[in-house]
Amino acid sequence: MPETLSPFNSAPKRLQDTSRMSDLGNQTFMVTFVSKPKGNGKPATLNGNGLLAGTIINREELLQTNEGRVKIRDNFGQIFRLREESTFQIELTEEGFQPVYDGFVFKFHRGKIAPMVSGGKYRTSCYDQGTPIVIIEPVDETTDKYFSFSDDSRVYEYDESGRKFTIVALNEDEEVELHYDVRNSMRTRYVAKNRQRISDKDLDRFSQQYMNDRLWIGVMSRYGITGITV
């Protein structure tokens, strides 16, 4: 019988147990890196318990980075890098069970990605497509900021009738503030403001905080001791 393609081509075979796959069709999410907080900082948890690289995230399990950093990968090439004070949970949405995340998130992909895969949903605002490369950060309780590193980064939602509508579409190297008011109907809830080019200062910050691969791999991974490196 031919060997099936591994859902995680960088993960050890012992972690590729398809019986533990999330209820997301053939989409699976695996934790591939967990940082150690500085000093006595609170480490990342899953449902309040310690979190380890290699963990498969099942639906309704709440991942909290707390004072650590966590990297998550799905089997279609999507990668989520979550900084401190961020969350990730697979919840029932308009698009079925999808990742819902919050906090400081860098979402990108490596390799060919299936076009039908959703990029998930930012908890306080809305959905984004699976393929664009974006950073999303909270500004305050009613404002998020989207930074696009791809052409046509489309942010969208569904109205009360389940009809999909676009809130804003960003070009590469653009940012926008997304303000929302939960008291309003879905189609009037979101307002995009201050659309502009990403500043050099933010690009320098992102390069260090999100895009520096050395911050997102374990010490053993650097020496090839473990397969969890992406």
Q: Per residue in 45-79, pLDDT tens?
A: 999 999 999 999 999 999 999 999 999 999 888 99
Give all strands of the β-sheet with 127-129 in edge-to-edge order: 49-50, 45-46, 62-64, 87-93, 96-102, 118-122, 127-129, 153-158, 164-170
Across the chain, which has 230 residues, the per-10-residue mean pLDDT values are 31 38 71 92 96 95 97 92 97 90 94 65 77 90 95 90 93 96 94 97 97 81 43
Q: Is residue 163 part of a domain?
A: yes
Find the CATH number of the domain harbouring 109.
2.60.120.1440
The two structure tokens encoding residue 83: 């900084």
Is 229 contained in some domain?
no
Question: What is the predicted pLDDT for the residue at 95?
Answer: 86
Count of domains in the chain?
1
Per residue in 88-117, pLDDT (tens digit) is 999 998 888 889 999 999 999 887 655 556
Residue 175 gets which letter from DSSP? Answer: E
Q: Which residues span the domain enclosing 106?
A: 13-217
pTM score, two decimals?
0.83
pLDDT at 116: 58
Distance between CA atoms of residues 221 and 66, nearest Å: 23
- Answer whether residue 3 is part of any domain: no
Cite the beta strand spans of 83-122 per DSSP E.
87-93, 96-102, 105-109, 118-122
Q: Is residue 46 part of a domain?
A: yes
Whether 1 is in a domain gets the answer no
Q: Is 230 part of a structural domain of the chain?
A: no
**Residue 223 within a domain:** no
Please tell me the predicted confidence (pLDDT) of residue 126.
Answer: 80
Query: By C-alpha distance, which of 18, 213, 189, 23 is closest to 99?
Result: 23
Question: Residues 152, 30, 105, 182: what is their CA dihedral angle, to the nearest 10 degrees?
Answer: 80
Backbone angles phi, psi at 179, to 5 degrees: -95, 145
Element (H, E) at 154: strand 153-158
Decide if 224 is inside a domain.
Answer: no
